[in-house]
Amino acid sequence: MKNRTLALMMAMALAVSLLAACGGSPSTPAATTTAAATTAAATTTAATTAAATTAATTTTAAPTEAAVERVKIKVASTRPQDDDPESSWEDFNYWTPIVEARFPNIEFEWDRWAPGEDYRQQYDMQLMAGAAPNVGMHFPYVDIRTRLANNTIGEMTSYVNSWDLKKQDLVSTVFDEAIQTRDGKWYAIPGAPYVNGVVINMETIREAGGDPSITPATWSEFAQVASDLTDKDEPRFGFLLLGSEWNAWPFIPWVWASGGEMVRENPDGTWTPAFAEDAGVDAAMFMNSLIWEHNATQRDILEDYNTFNNRFIAGEGIFGWGSPPGYSADNLARFDRKQEDISFMPIPAKDDGGRQVTFAGGEVWTFNPNNTQAENDAAWEFITFYSYDKDFLLSYWEKQNSLNRLSANPSVRNDLVETKYNMATSWPGHWAKLMADGFAMARPEPFCPNWNDLKNEIVIPLQTIYLNENITWDEAKALFEACAKTLVEKYPESFQIP
């Protein structure tokens, strides 16, 4: 039995490493703040460390209880790399003393992944060797269903079911369908979500003679504005369309806005590739119309992601894909652009009265499946403090803001989302409400098994639809149906068409 289990885990590790090589998205935020110290950095942050220790003993002092046996846990992806900036050190040396003082019964090992190697593969190899972290925020929530099936993460149902914040509806539910099973078992809690939608370059709109206060609510309005403001000789494009190998990522919310789904779960636990249904075809053909009928996109829609993103930063695009905090003041300044001119809106609804939507992704906290009860208890205490304790979060965000390190990830506490964004003095004031409202309407990226394979498989059919000026709706549907059939043939345990 041991040999069989080892063989299964080695096969799974290889599969995960291959998925990591071709899946994912270029703007997915890091699971946690990177942090690790060199001797020089430790010296320069000694004062910060001392202040943090003082704060730990005055504002978050550990409960005065009888001495208990200490338990050691390894926490993944919390320690910076040696070449990380000094601000990473200051960040790390601020919060770690607070946590350690808060939990004197826990011995923490702040761990990091080896640079240049896929963290998923590192975790799986460490798990096989009995040396994996006890807890970490390293996996995106879309991995959870696959990992619980392969027994590479641990269950946390009893903790979630007795969690007061959850009972009070203060915990973000954006990933709930993905991180629990049909019978109510929990395998993760939210850690670092992000939200994407349509980013707007208001200064570029003004330069084109438009009104940036008017945002399109439907596809027809969107196409009209994008077309009217396009001038390819400038160059200025109404809509920057991402058609490269990442094209499935921004395509997903347009399918939702069309009233459809990318995948749909079947009663037997398999999934239908639902993008081949009419709503998915409508979304793809709308992208085609923006290119050919409305002449509103950049000429090369297959350009690499960095070129695509730099066009928006340079002011060449009216509408793009992302979220405002993804555009730093320094990067914008290279093109005489300012953060104040970046705005945000949901994907427009297909028709009047339809659904506008934003897109959520991100990482979740998980347990090592081989943890002892004591290790799970300690891990739960840590993650609920680090990600959910209000007093700690407010002080930590204040420190991060002073270091210009306050992340764009929404708070996983529902009552603190706008609070966090309002603390960001290095960001424009109007971003706080835009991001909070955007996260409130966000739908999570689909999470079925072999999801990354589906995203890879749909790339070529999408590009074919986008690049063929004269393609018909029926021809586009046939391409999608052929793609769905291929997925069923390659991954029959994941996909079936009823």
pLDDT tens, position by position, 88-99? 999 999 999 999
Q: Provide the pLDDT for residue 432.
A: 84
Say whether pLDDT at 3 is over 50. no
Say whether pLDDT at 333 is over 70. yes
The amino acid occupying position 64 is: T
| Cα(242)–Cα(320) distance, integer angstroms | 9
Q: Provide the pLDDT for residue 68.
A: 61
pLDDT (tens digit per residue) in 188-206: 999 999 999 999 999 999 9
Domain at 2-193+364-432, CATH from 3.40.190.10, 1.10.10.60, 1.10.620.20, 3.40.50.1260? 3.40.190.10
**447: Cβ contacts below 8 Å, ≥ 6 apart:** 141, 142, 144, 145, 177, 178
| Cα(239)–Cα(141) distance, integer angstroms | 30
Tokens describing residue 468: 């063929």
| CA 272 distance to own-chain centroid | 24
- Mean pLDDT computed over 28-53: 36
Say whether pLDDT at 373 is over 60. yes
CA atoms within 13 A on the CB side of 281: 17
Query: 116 falls in which pLDDT band (50, 70, 90)?
Result: confident
What is the torsional sign of CA 138, 140, 145, 149? Answer: negative
Which residues of the chain form CATH 3.40.190.10? 2-193+364-432, 195-359+446-490
pLDDT (tens digit per residue) in 64-106: 444 568 999 999 988 999 888 898 999 999 999 999 999 999 9
Say whether pLDDT at 32 is over 90. no
Kind plus residue range of the DSSP H or E element containing 94: helix 86-102
Whether the Cβ atoms of residue 31 and residue 107 lie closer than 8 Å to each other: no
Q: Provide the pLDDT for residue 325.
A: 85
Q: Find, among 367, 364, 363, 362, the residue nearest to 74 by Cα.
A: 367
Average pLDDT, the chain: 87
pLDDT (tens digit per residue) in 217-241: 999 999 999 999 999 999 999 999 9
Measured in degrees and rounded to the nearest 5, phi and psi for residue 14 equal: -65, -40
Return the higher-pLDDT residue of 407 and 368: 368
Tokens describing residue 179: 């991180």
Query: 454 falls in which pLDDT band (50, 70, 90)?
Result: very high
Say whether pLDDT at 326 is over 80. yes
**With pLDDT > 70 as the criterion, what percentage of the chain qualifies?**
86
**With pLDDT > 90 as the criterion, what percentage of the chain qualifies?**
70
Q: Provide the pLDDT for residue 69.
A: 82
Say whether pLDDT at 13 is over 80. no
| Cα(321)–Cα(309) distance, integer angstroms | 9
| Cα(362)–Cα(142) distance, integer angstroms | 9
pTM: predicted TM-score of the whole model, two decimal places: 0.76
Measured in degrees and rounded to the nearest 5, phi and psi for residue 276 equal: -80, -5
State the fold for domain 195-359+446-490: D-Maltodextrin-Binding Protein; domain 2 (3.40.190)
Say whether pLDDT at 145 is over 90. no
Q: Provide the pLDDT for residue 51.
A: 40
Q: Provide the pLDDT for residue 401.
A: 92
Helix (H, G, I), strand (E, B) or coil at 195: strand
| Cα(66)–Cα(259) distance, integer angstroms | 58
Whether the Cβ atoms of residue 489 and residue 257 lie closer than 8 Å to each other: no
Range in 171-175, 229-233, 406-410 the model is least confident about: 406-410
For tokens 């029926």, what's the residue? 474
> Which residues are registered as beta bridge partners of 237?
317
pLDDT (tens digit per residue) in 256-310: 999 999 999 999 989 999 999 999 999 999 999 999 999 999 999 999 999 999 9
